[in-house]
Amino acid sequence: MDYHEISNIIKKSLNLKTSPVSVKLFEKEKDAEKIFEKTDKIMHCQAIITASKGKSFYGTIAEIGCPIGAGILGLKELPEKILNGSQFNKMNVTSSQESGKALIDSVAKNQRIESIAYMPLEDSKIEPDVVVIIAKPRQIFDLIRANAYQEGKRMDNSVGGTQSLCGDIVINSIQTNEPHISFGCMGSHMATELSQDQVIIGIPISKIEEITNSLTILHKR
């Protein structure tokens, strides 16, 4: 699979100003540090935006700053106050601790890992787990059409307004092996330059070639 060509097709077809981002989860840091330079302190959502602008790097629990996001991604254990819903209730994310627990229970969570790498898709040195694209709604619409083109398959989606780029976009896309869409969460909107008119889609690497081929056909029509 030629990631450089795939990235160019996606960017040209959608008229993207930034690159699709490859995300790779590593069980052992030693496997990441052989290939990538380590980043400074950064949040997972900001790391995706930074990589979309051309940088490749990796981070561990020491660098990936969001404590909830790091737990969702598998870099650490989630705090008990998150797992029992009390923190979401305290932050006014939910109306009660019970609803907070129901919300966090529904978020996809990863097994323990030691590091995560981020890179522009065209510069991918290894096979990523998921490709993340930040775009306008009309551009995401074209990707939805491309996903449905071969088999007429609808895109199921689950969002809760929290843990979007970590749980919904990366982990859920990997675990279900299906694309997922998110509109960001409070953390990503507060901590990054993610704009109000942008949508995020996560595409598992197993689907990226098919979607790109379909996108090419649809773009010509």
Neighbours of 94 (CB within 10 A): 21
Q: Tally the C-alpha atoms within 13 A of residue 208's C-alpha that lie toward its C-beta.
A: 30
Q: Which residue has the higher pLDDT, 160 or 29?
A: 29
**End-to-end alpha carbon distance in the chain:** 25
CA–CA dist 25, 170 (Å, integer): 10
Computed over its alpha carbons, how large is the radius of gyration of the chain? 17
Q: Does residue 67 register a pLDDT over 80? A: yes
Q: Is 134 left (phi over 0), alpha (psi -120 to 50) or beta?
A: beta
| pTM metric for this prediction | 0.95
- Range with top average pLDDT, 115-119, 155-159, 183-187: 115-119
Average pLDDT over residues 194-212: 95
Are residues 133 and 199 in contact, defined by beta-carbon separation less than 8 angstroms? no
CA–CA dist 144, 95 (Å, integer): 33
